[in-house]
Amino acid sequence: MKKITFIAVVILAAVSCTPQENPSLNEGIVVSDAWLRPPLPGKVSAGYFNITNHGDKADKLVAAESPIAGSIELHTAAMADGVMKMRRVDAVDLAPGETVSFKPGGLHLMLFDVELAADRNDARVTLIFENAEPVTVLAALTNTPARKTDDHTNH
């Protein structure tokens, strides 16, 4: 029995020392449904996801980085006089209990100088916050996000 307990403690210690990629354990910040558009000519891509602040303090998304991109900017898009216009933003506020959606036609990441192997179907993106520890997510490369109803569980 002591041997089993010892092994369980060793496994638990080893798991707790691995890099934190489970956003649900990161100071109340949860990132879900992350996806990237395949790069366009000129090596530009866009990233989308949802961020929920389950903490009791406000925070801000201030930057993002990825090994596949030379640089990443936070952007917003909005219609103005019938034309979709994008602009860079310095930070995105995350109030306690709030979910912020990064989606086409709104907030998004702009990835520049994207270098991606042709056989890749996902990429790691690290989101950097003003207060919380960074959160790394694995974002699928797709032209359209997977919908929760695509699995046909209601049929």
| Total-model pTM | 0.76
Number of domains comprising the chain: 1
Is 1 within the bounds of a domain?
A: no
What is the rounded CA–CA span in Å between residue 62 and residue 74? 8
Is 14 within the bounds of a domain?
A: no
CATH code for the domain of 122: 2.60.40.1890
Output the pLDDT for position 99: 98
Output the pLDDT for position 146: 61
Output the pLDDT for position 20: 39
The mean-pLDDT minimum among 16-20, 30-34, 116-120 falls in: 16-20
pLDDT band at 74 (very low <50, low <70, confident <90, very high): very high
Is 10 within the bounds of a domain?
A: no
Long-range contacts of the stretch 117-123 (C-beta < 8 A, 24+): 120/68, 123/36, 123/66, 123/67, 123/68
The mean-pLDDT minimum among 12-16, 29-33, 67-71 falls in: 12-16
Gap between the terminal Cα atoms of the chain: 47
Assign residue 113 a region (left: φ > 0; alpha: ψ between -120 and 50; beta: otherwise): left
Output the pLDDT for position 148: 53
Sign of CA dihedral 75, 80, 84, 85: negative
Mean pLDDT confidence for 20-32: 65
3-class SS of residue 5: helix
